[in-house]
């Protein structure tokens, strides 16, 4: 299966903007990334325009077209909005540029659009249509086929200008390879299904090919070329009311109105049965084809594009005499469109209720229908979950409530004191442990300044210096507690976050141990002193005894010596 449109994972994550803007909710979220649901997509391309990350990825057929060019038989059918995208007022310039790329010939798709207008006129004159919806926009056609089957009876059974022109080219050149070039993504799928268009290039593709080949349109425009023209009011097609302006005369009995943009188209289609006598020109793009998803961005946008188209067509009307146009009669431009069905699963009411209950939605008042998930209602989102297109956690209010609840539980059950302050040092959040440590008995102190309960110096310094403070030992005089204080400065200076670890017991144990150590040292010192005194006394006594003994022994020695001498 060809994926005509998708999103780049690297730049797409949990945004849901494309889903909010998608008119038919043809986008699913897989692993936090948006993906196209092929069976639901009408290829309006609106999601590519609103994506803030420019994550669009449009399938390109450039390689296939370049292969067709090598055959030498490729003919380009160029959408009339080339005037605004390439800032040209002469199709000859575009034709010469395409020739340099290798195209054998090129024509404006408005040639086929003129036949479409002729077919519309013929059908309207038959007077059988209660309402008449134009069939030129393939995105609108698919939207009706998939989602508004009641409007099928009002949808013109006529080919789009691209297919009509391709049929005309094939009539003249049976072996030609037809390549459509325009600003539309929906044309890619339509071309594959038509069987008469061999390839499609977007204006973005064509611009890249010109750049690669060094083809500069301004340089070609300065060459002496013969301008191609002719009275063809269908060149108005790419602007709002362009189809209506392609009519020479309006058909009696119908009110001719233009509806641009998928949102307005949906409003009309939802109420089509209540309308009568309406010719409705429908375009999925706001401001019609000049504002297609693959048109080239120019200054002044759709306003200037509209003026450029008018200028281009008016020049033809002024320079060429009006000639009664005779429609082609030997080509069948009929296209009867039938109901298409998506591959959606239809959940039961019970299944939807069970899904809603998982996000806390059990009563009517729980249905916020905020649209943050991308779906219009909570019930729509439950349907998407049942189909695997969405996840439970895409419900932003539920996830926020859950996160806040979990954060609250974590904070309140923490064994540490936790305080969150704003830039003015007012309390945003505080848990019971912090109140206990700070001796706070007030029930509700949120919004009050921390300085009423605690010396804010460390908070002020941390905030001013943009420096965190880690594990600072602080004594809380009011409660006699000791804490290990850590202060974290939040990103972008959005406040401070403090954690107080209660170290009172450890500190008191350390103090008790220090006291025991000091007492032990004092006792030891006293014992040593006593031992020294005893030692000194013993030494003194030993000294006296030794002296006396020495005297006695000397006397004894002398006595003995005397006795010996007497003999």
Is residue 448 within 8 Å of residue 455, measured between CB atoms?
A: no
Is residue 497 within 8 Å of residue 416, measured between CB atoms?
A: no
Q: State mean pLDDT over 509-538.
A: 73
Ranked by mean pLDDT, the top range of 181-195, 404-418, 511-525, 531-545 is: 181-195
- Mean of the per-residue pLDDT values of the chain: 89
**Chain segment 232-251, per-residue pLDDT in tens:** 899 999 999 999 999 989 99
**Chain segment 356-400, per-residue pLDDT in tens:** 999 989 999 999 999 989 999 999 999 999 999 999 888 888 877
| Dist CA 522 CA 537 (whole Å) | 23
Q: State mean pLDDT over 320-333.
A: 80
Q: Which of 193-207, 365-379, 533-547 has the lowest mean pLDDT?
A: 533-547
Return the closest-CA partner of residue 259 out of 115, 123, 134.
Answer: 134
User: Phi-psi region for residue 362, left (φ > 0), alpha (ψ -120 to 50) or beta?
Assistant: alpha
Task: Using the predicted structure, report yes or no on whether residue 314 has a pLDDT greater than 80.
Answer: yes
Segment (H or E) for 514: helix 504-566
Q: State mean pLDDT over 538-566.
A: 64
**Chain segment 35-59, per-residue pLDDT in tens:** 999 999 999 999 988 888 887 789 9
Helices 349-357, 378-386: axis angle to 10 degrees equals 110
pLDDT classification of 509: cutoffs 50, 70, 90: confident
Tracing tokens 């302050």 back to the chain, one arrives at 421
Return the closest-CA partner of residue 337 out of 191, 160, 186, 166.
Answer: 160
Q: Which of 91-95, 379-383, 405-409, 435-439 has the lowest mean pLDDT?
A: 405-409
| Dist CA 273 CA 154 (whole Å) | 10
| pLDDT for the residue 541 | 67
| pLDDT for the residue 45 | 93
Token code pair at residue 472? 């600072």
Task: Using the predicted structure, report yes or no on whether residue 516 has a pLDDT greater than 80.
Answer: no
CATH class of 415-502: alpha beta
pLDDT classification of 534: cutoffs 50, 70, 90: confident
**Chain segment 20-38, per-residue pLDDT in tens:** 999 999 999 988 888 999 9
Task: Using the predicted structure, report yes or no on whether residue 3 has a pLDDT greater than 90.
Answer: no
| pLDDT for the residue 565 | 52
| pLDDT for the residue 235 | 95
CATH topology for the 5-50 domain: Alpha-Beta Plaits (3.30.70)
pLDDT classification of 546: cutoffs 50, 70, 90: low
| Dist CA 485 CA 462 (whole Å) | 12
Q: What is the model's pTM?
A: 0.75
131-to-151, 257, 298, 475, 567 alpha-carbon distances in Å? 9, 11, 36, 84, 173
CATH number of 349-400: 1.10.15
| pLDDT for the residue 561 | 66
User: Phi-psi region for residue 45, left (φ > 0), alpha (ψ -120 to 50) or beta?
Assistant: left
Q: State mean pLDDT over 415-426.
A: 90
Mention every residue, 6+ apart, whose C-beta is less than 8 A from residue 162: 77, 79, 109, 112, 180, 182, 187, 190, 191, 194, 197
Q: What percent of the chain stands above pLDDT 90?
A: 62
First to last CA, the chain: 148
| Dist CA 96 CA 83 (whole Å) | 15
| Dist CA 238 CA 234 (whole Å) | 9
**Chain segment 129-167, per-residue pLDDT in tens:** 999 999 999 999 999 999 999 999 999 999 999 999 999
Q: State mean pLDDT over 397-416.
A: 77
| Dist CA 150 CA 270 (whole Å) | 9
pLDDT classification of 515: cutoffs 50, 70, 90: confident
pLDDT classification of 318: cutoffs 50, 70, 90: confident
Task: Using the predicted structure, report yes or no on whether residue 230 has a pLDDT greater than 70.
Answer: no
Domain ranges of the chain: 5-50, 60-319, 349-400, 415-502, 509-567
Task: Using the predicted structure, report yes or no on whether residue 543 has a pLDDT greater than 80.
Answer: no
| pLDDT for the residue 547 | 65
Q: State mean pLDDT over 5-15.
A: 78
Q: State mean pLDDT over 208-229.
A: 86
């Amino acid at each position: 299966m060809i994926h005509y449109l998708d999103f780049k994972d690297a730049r797409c994550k949990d945004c849901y903007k494309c889903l909010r803007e998608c008119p038919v909710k043809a986008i699913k979220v897989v692993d936090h990334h948006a993906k196209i649901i092929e069976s639901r997509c009408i290829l309006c391309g609106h999601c590519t325009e609103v994506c803030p990350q420019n994550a669009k990825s449009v399938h390109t057929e450039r390689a296939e077209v370049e292969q067709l060019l090598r055959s030498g038989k490729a003919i380009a059918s160029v959408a009339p909005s080339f005037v605004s995208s390439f800032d040209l007022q002469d199709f000859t310039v575009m034709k010469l540029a395409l020739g340099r790329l290798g195209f054998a010939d090129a024509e404006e798709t408005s040639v086929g659009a003129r036949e479409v207008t002729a077919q519309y006129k013929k059908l309207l004159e038959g007077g059988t249509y209660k309402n008449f919806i134009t069939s030129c926009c393939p995105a609108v056609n698919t939207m009706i086929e998939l989602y508004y089957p009641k409007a099928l009876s009002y949808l013109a059974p006529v080919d789009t200008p691209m297919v009509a022109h391709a049929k005309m080219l094939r009539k003249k050149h049976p072996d030609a390879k037809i390549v459509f070039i325009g600003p539309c993504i929906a044309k890619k799928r339509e071309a594959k299904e038509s069987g008469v268009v061999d390839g499609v290039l977007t204006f973005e593709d064509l611009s890249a090919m010109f750049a690669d080949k060094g083809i500069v349109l301004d340089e070609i425009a300065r060459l002496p070329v013969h301008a191609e023209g002719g009275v063809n009011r269908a060149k108005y097609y790419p602007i709002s009311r362009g189809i209506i302006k392609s009519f020479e005369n309006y058909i009696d009995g119908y009110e001719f109105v233009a509806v641009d943009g998928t949102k307005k188209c949906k409003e009309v289609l939802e109420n089509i049965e209540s309308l009568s006598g309406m010719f409705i020109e429908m375009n999925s793009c706001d401001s019609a084809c000049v504002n297609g998803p693959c048109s080239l961005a120019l200054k002044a946008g759709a306003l200037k594009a509209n003026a450029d188209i008018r200028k281009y067509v008016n020049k033809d009307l002024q320079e060429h005499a009006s000639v009664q146009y005779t429609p082609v009669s030997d080509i069948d431009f009929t296209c009867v469109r039938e109901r298409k069905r998506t591959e959606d699963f239809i959940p039961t009411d019970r299944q939807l209720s069970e899904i809603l209950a998982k996000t806390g939605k059990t009563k009517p008042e729980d249905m916020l229908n905020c649209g943050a998930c991308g779906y219009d209602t909570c019930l729509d989102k439950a349907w998407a979950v049942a189909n695997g297109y969405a996840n439970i956690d895409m419900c932003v209010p539920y996830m926020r409530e859950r996160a806040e609840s979990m954060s609250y539980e974590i904070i309140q059950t923490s064994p540490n004191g936790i305080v969150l302050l704003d830039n003015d040092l007012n309390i945003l959040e505080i848990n019971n442990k912090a109140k206990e440590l700070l001796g706070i008995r007030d029930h509700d102190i949120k919004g009050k300044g921390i300085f009423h309960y605690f010396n804010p110096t460390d908070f002020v310094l941390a905030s001013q210096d943009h420096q965190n403070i880690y594990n600072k030992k602080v004594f809380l005089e009011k409660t006699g507690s000791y804490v290990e204080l850590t202060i974290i400065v939040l990103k972008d200076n959005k406040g401070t976050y403090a954690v107080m670890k209660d170290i009172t017991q450890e500190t008191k144990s350390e103090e008790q141990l220090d006291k025991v150590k000091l007492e032990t040292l004092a006792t030891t010192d006293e014992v040593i002193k006593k031992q020294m005194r005893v030692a000194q006394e013993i030494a003194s006594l030993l000294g006296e005894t030794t002296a006396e003994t020495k005297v006695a022994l000397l006397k004894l020695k002398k006595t003995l010596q005397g006795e010996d001498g007497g003999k």
